[in-house]
Amino acid sequence: MDEKKSAFKLFYLNLSSTFISSVMAIVLAGMLFVDSENVQSGLFRLGEGLAYEGVIQIFLWSCVISGLTVVLTSDIWFGKIMLLWRAAVLMFLAVAVTALFVFVFRWFPLDVWEAWATFLAFFIIGFGGGLAVAVAKTKIDDRRFNKLLSEYKSKKKEG
């Protein structure tokens, strides 16, 4: 039961951070790159900004990405796949899921290579930033646990 609560908590935390950061990134990209007079996106409404349907689509996308993240970081996979391979699999699946959402919901014109290039650039920057944070957190945790283990071993020797 504890594993289910932990998986749900991880899913919820991932969903929250993924959804919030995605909405903010899309709003920022919309402000910088979307011509409000010539909107060609399923995410934005002409002259109004981010569409309600777009927010729901981003939420659904966030649910799928969060589910994939929980599966790839669960105890079942933890001992079997290195962090680098999990990150590579997650990145591949995230690109595939995102491309599917782009096709289904027409998030941007499918025949405009600049839109795809911009998408890939933002995706790589965002994923790279997230991966850098995860690696840094892992290293910090590793140092902390090694220090605690050393302290425990020295206390055990003394006692």
| pLDDT bucket at 34, cuts 50 / 70 / 90 | low
Three-state DSSP at 42 gives coil
- Residue 40 C-beta-side C-alpha neighbours within 13 Å: 9
pLDDT value for 46: 59
pLDDT value for 56: 92
Asked if 44 contacts 50 with a C-beta cutoff of 8 angstroms, the reply is yes
Counting the structural domains of the chain, the total is 1
Question: For residue 48, what are the domain limits?
Answer: 2-158
Q: What is the pTM of this model?
A: 0.72
Q: Higher model confidence: residue 146 or residue 127? A: 146
Asked if 9 contacts 52 with a C-beta cutoff of 8 angstroms, the reply is no
pLDDT tens for each residue of 95-143: 899 989 989 998 888 888 887 888 888 888 887 887 788 788 888 989 9
Contacts of 45 (CB under 8 A, 6+ apart): 39, 51
- Express as a percent the part of the chain with pLDDT over 70: 82
Picking from 55, 85, 86, 58, the residue whose alpha carbon sits closest to that of residue 70 is: 86
